[in-house]
Structure 1
Amino acid sequence: MVAGSPDMGDVIRTDSAPKPMGHYPHARRVGNLLFLSGIGPRHPDGDHIPGNEYFADGRLKHYDIAAQAHAVFDNVRSVLEASGAHFSDLVDVTVYLTDMARDFKAYNAIWAEYFPDAGTAPCRTTLGITALPTPIAIELKCVAVLHDGAAPRT
Structure 2
Amino acid sequence: MSQEFNSEKAPEPVGLYPHARKVGDLLFLSGVGPRERNTKKIPGVTLGENGEIVAYDIEEQCRSVFKNVRLILEASGSSWDKLVDVTVFLTNMKDDFATYNKIYAEYFADNQPCRTTVEINCLPTPIAIELKCVATL
TM-score range, shorter chain: over 0.9
Map of 1:68 onto structure 2: 61
| Alpha-carbon contact 2:26-2:134 (below 8 Å) kept | yes
Task: Measure the CA separation in 1 of the matches of 2:28 and 2:37.
Answer: 19
Q: Find the structure with the greater CA-based Rg.
A: 1
2:51 paired residue number? 58
> Does the CA-based 8 Å contact 2:7-2:76 persist in structure 1?
no
Size of the aligned set, in residue pairs, is 137
- Structure 2: runs of 5+ lacking an equivalent: none
Structure 2: which amino acid aligns with 1:101? K
Aligned to 1:12: 5
SS in 1 for 2:71: helix
Find the counterpart in structure 1 of residue 132 from structure 2: 141
Q: Percent identity?
A: 56
- 1:57 to partner: Cα distance: 3.6
RMSD: 1.0
**Matched residue of 2:64: which SS?**
helix
Q: Distance in 2 between matches of 1:115 and 1:139?
A: 16
Runs of 4+ in structure 1 over 6 Å off: none
Q: Which runs of 5+ in 1 are unaligned?
A: 1-6, 147-154
74, 89, 92: which one pairs with 2:85? 92
Matches of 2:68 and 2:46, distance apart in 1: 21
Letter in 2 for 1:142: C
Q: Distance in 2 between matches of 1:38 and 1:32?
A: 20
CA distance in 1, matches of 2:132, 2:50: 31
